Structure 1
């Protein structure tokens, strides 16, 4: 869907983005994350040509961005900002309808689209269509911003730290709403944040930037378990460590072949020592004990409901999602 090929952006002698090459697949939730000044927002803005690149190529649907009419291209790319900047003198309906009106949609089609989008983000359509921005909470304004970006049904959505100005409760709620929405609409989303917690919760894949260059691209699990550098390890932080059977099991003193347990081993589930915690939780609902083996299939321990509960309590975990 979107491809960066050795893309560089310079401001005079200062390199803001340095030789970026990566692909974003259709329907993927791709997050750009890194410390302030690492080039995240510059990278995002080059996709819809708000900022011109200095060298390299960005491809959209296998064609260089420069081959597209800039206005038509932007109709295919929705954009959600940190500061939503709704037009204060316009109703919610008219704020959302800006692009469809420019595309010449008729009034009924626009009204139907606005109402369905509001319902999709959890706002009752007829109740909110005729309100003005100053009648909305911060979280509601962000939802309107998402609706506006989706109004003309673009295949790509760019989101630049859209939740960073919200209070923690509203932010967490909107993150979950966005995940639920993405499960329904399957857009290609490129999302910028400086918050690793947010990146880990939302992303299919994460691109960690440092000083304008890529440190590592991978799934949340890949970044946690196989960090490419000490910077990545420190930026992710220890609280995102993926707990496994090794952390939770009750060890046994004598390692032996699990097959020696004969019929007993058939009564219980057997997992590798690196099995993630969330998988173990699912297995324990149907098993009173899970045997744990190493890569040589030697028995090294077991997990029970009691050992799991004790581990979760000691580590302050709730057992759900990424641990």
Structure 2
């Protein structure tokens, strides 16, 4: 937006109409605040750790963003991710080649997404109800499959995304960071530069208007859930690189954490408004907030309170922005 436009609409109006701006400002403020109130927050090692801690939730939030942009929500994304980690790790433990185990795990997670999308589109049921049911089914399936066990990961391929490299000999990076960044950029391009992306936003804004304009609404919705499933499959691979152990009880709040990242990133829970780059910022806000408050000696319960307040504030801002646009 030009300087003239900024003067005409006002900075506040610009922030309301550009979803990623507000979260970016919040992230900068949080980093500045914690750098002033703690001694180690700006250490290179700590900043690298913050990014690594946001990877799995950030990847889950990427798929969640696609679903929320269509006006839905996915409560089963973390459960599907956990099922993927269990399949990958157990198959390798049972003697299956690691590449086949990796593909099988991702394929099953994609199948969960496709099934969810199929039920939503074919029966016209609310995504909240469908994914709540899928959450229960997949969680039970994971625990039955695991048999109360966890499965250590010793294979190099399954743990590949956790491989560390050092930039300039000091800044610790992982392959998983590069993969996550690549996925964000790819989906940003897909949503902003392709017909498919325009259809996703149109369906989220008004599915009936989208149908009348010639968009195949059901096909678009199904494709969103399939792509989201693929992203969740990669999140499962990310999880094994982050913690080399497949545990059926992992990521129990991952679905809510991913929604939190999406909402803090400026994506509207009502659909049709937001961006994946905003979600990336939102995931970093959550990680920065938890790291900074932990270093400041704040109890985890109060951290949850702070996160909850931020989510409510973000939704309130979104509702206000929508009213201003009418």
TM-score under structure 1 length normalisation: 0.23
Larger radius of gyration: 1
Higher share in strand: 1
- The one of the two structures with greater contact order (alpha-carbon pairs below 8 A, sep at least 6) is 2
> Quick check: which one's helix share is greater?
2
